[in-house]
Structure 1
Amino acid sequence: MKNITVILAGGSGKRMGGSLPKQFLILGEKPIIQHSIEAFENHPQTDEICIIIHADFIHEVECIVKENNFNKVKHILPGGKERSDSSLAAIHAYQEEQNINLIFHDAVRPFVSSEIISNVIRELNAGKSVAVAITTVDTIFEVDEKNKIVSVPQRSFLRRAQTPQAFPYHTIKSAYEIALKDPDFVATDDCGVVLKYLPTEAIYIVEGDESNIKITFEGDLVLGEQILQAKS
């Protein structure tokens, strides 16, 4: 099976201010998105990379790819308004392919390890759908619309989601085909789409890592620099 990584950078969010989305902020002298691309470019079991980026920033990604000779990057495609639009862009780009896996990864998770990628691909090669997650040490409250606690789920059954999320192509394509027929369809991640629209499809957990953080706020940049220093 051909393993294709989809780097999801379609958002234009600027929660930390500035003129560029957070995936272009500098971390360890490189744009955050470059770290994420490198992780899969350098992994021997990744065959190809597709980058989904807001249309206004395609040129910036093209420059990063060219300057760093990222030979595995075969597509740089515009994303849409919603998170699901980015996944659909990749699904449509590979609709003529056969026997492929799609590995979806957030561009702003720059510290995904080679071990995590290898473990994800191992499960994919067994025909499984996969999510990366870690255990939660905090108690989680479920609340209602009035912010009142309605339940306290048992922590042993809870996981904190990370990426990659990965699927055989036919699985994720089928899930979205069904989802798009639902007038109330809203998606925040691909596992949620598969879980809702292909309920008999099992999704297995691959253990993530505390350092596989998502850079969202200014404090995450500080933590990211600390992680880089520890790795070096």
Structure 2
Amino acid sequence: MRNTRPTVAAVLAGGQGTRMGAALPKQFIDLAGKPVLGHALEAFDAAEAVDRILVVGVERELDRIRRIAAGSTKFAGAVAGGATRSESSKAAVRWTEDHFGTECDLLIHDAARALVTPNLINRVASGLERHAAVTAAVPSRDTVVQVRHDQDGEFLSRSLERDELRRVQTPQAFHLAVIRDAYRAAETDPDFSATDDCSVVLRYLPHIPVAAVAGDERNLKVTEPLDLAVAGALLEADGV
């Protein structure tokens, strides 16, 4: 059943993409005829679970973002984020609370995951019917090991159980009050750092379970030129 709470999707588009080595940040690079960000926005626009879309970006790029989002029927606005990914997530939390209060849901997605699908978005959002925090995740295909370092180099120390390992993707979804409270708690930690939002809940609200739902191997993150080539090939195979 469709969640009755408003659902906002925040697409984070503030990265500089230095590993791409391009003149433009990766979210604005052309991919099969449209910017990487444009593909992500189309998926959220088509996702039944999403009511409104917010894009968080760099201040000087907000006009570019608005032009890319102009065709979206759910686009609610673009706001400036911060110097880090977490600061941009907090900007999305603040905007959503200001416009919808705390009785709503927030999906947070990296714009660089251009091949996200409406089905995956809906699957993650529907997890909030039972859980307060949800992430898309896929099983690890590779053996993952822990290493130790000493003066002679890097050595394997422990092999981790592959059946218990997942590679986390976005979107990640939250009851808004949960992700807001997690970031508030993190602000008291001088050593705080995070590369995704569910890890903030795991660390600072350990009593809140974070559910994992099936992600999608195609939901890759465009970070380097090879990723862009793979994404382009997948879209070409789809006839896009």
Task: Identify whether the pair has TM-score above 0.5, normalized to the shorter chain.
Answer: yes
RMSD: 1.3
Partner of 1:88: 90
Per-residue Cα deviation, 1:177-217 (whole angstroms, up to 9, x for no partner)? 11001111111110110000000110111101111110111
Cα separation, 2, equivalents of 1:65 and 1:167? 24
3-state DSSP of counterpart to 1:15? helix
List aligned pairs for 1:27-176, cutoff 5 A: 27-66=31-70, 68=71, 70-96=72-98, 97-146=101-150, 147-176=154-183
> Shift of the alpha carbon at 1:131?
0.8
Query: In structure 1, what residue type is equivalent to 2:18?
Result: K
3-state DSSP of counterpart to 1:182? coil
Cα separation, 1, equivalents of 2:60 and 2:191? 29
Structure 2 length as normaliser, TM-score? 0.92
Aligned length: 230
Structure 1 length as normaliser, TM-score? 0.95
Cα separation, 2, equivalents of 1:127 and 1:106? 21
> Shift of the alpha carbon at 1:145?
4.2
Partner of 1:195: 202
Q: Are 2:188 and 1:181 equivalent residues in the alignment? A: yes
**Structure 1 residues without counterparts, runs of 5 or longer:** none
Per-residue Cα deviation, 1:159-194 (whole angstroms, up to 9, x for no partner)? 011111111001000101110011111111101100
> Shift of the alpha carbon at 1:94?
2.1
Please identify, of 129-138 and 94-103, the stretch whose mean Cα deviation from structure 2 is larger: 94-103
Q: Do 1:111 and 1:213's aligned partners in 2 also have CA atoms closer than 8 Å?
A: yes
Per-residue Cα deviation, 1:93-119 (whole angstroms, up to 9, x for no partner)? 122313111101110111112221121
Match of 1:230 among 230, 237, 240: 237
Per-residue Cα deviation, 1:4-42 (whole angstroms, up to 9, x for no partner)? 101011112232223210111111100000000110011
**Structure 2 residues without counterparts, runs of 5 or longer:** none
Cα separation, 2, equivalents of 1:104 and 1:41? 14
> Shift of the alpha carbon at 1:74?
1.0
3-state DSSP of counterpart to 1:36? helix
Per-residue Cα deviation, 1:107-144 (whole angstroms, up to 9, x for no partner)? 01111122211211211123431011101110011123
Cα separation, 2, equivalents of 1:158 and 1:202? 17
Cα separation, 2, equivalents of 1:11 and 1:169? 23
Q: Are 2:214 and 1:207 equivalent residues in the alignment? A: yes
> Shift of the alpha carbon at 1:45?
1.8
Q: Do 1:102 and 1:166's aligned partners in 2 also have CA atoms closer than 8 Å?
A: yes
The runs of 4+ residues in structure 1 deviating greater than 3 Å are none
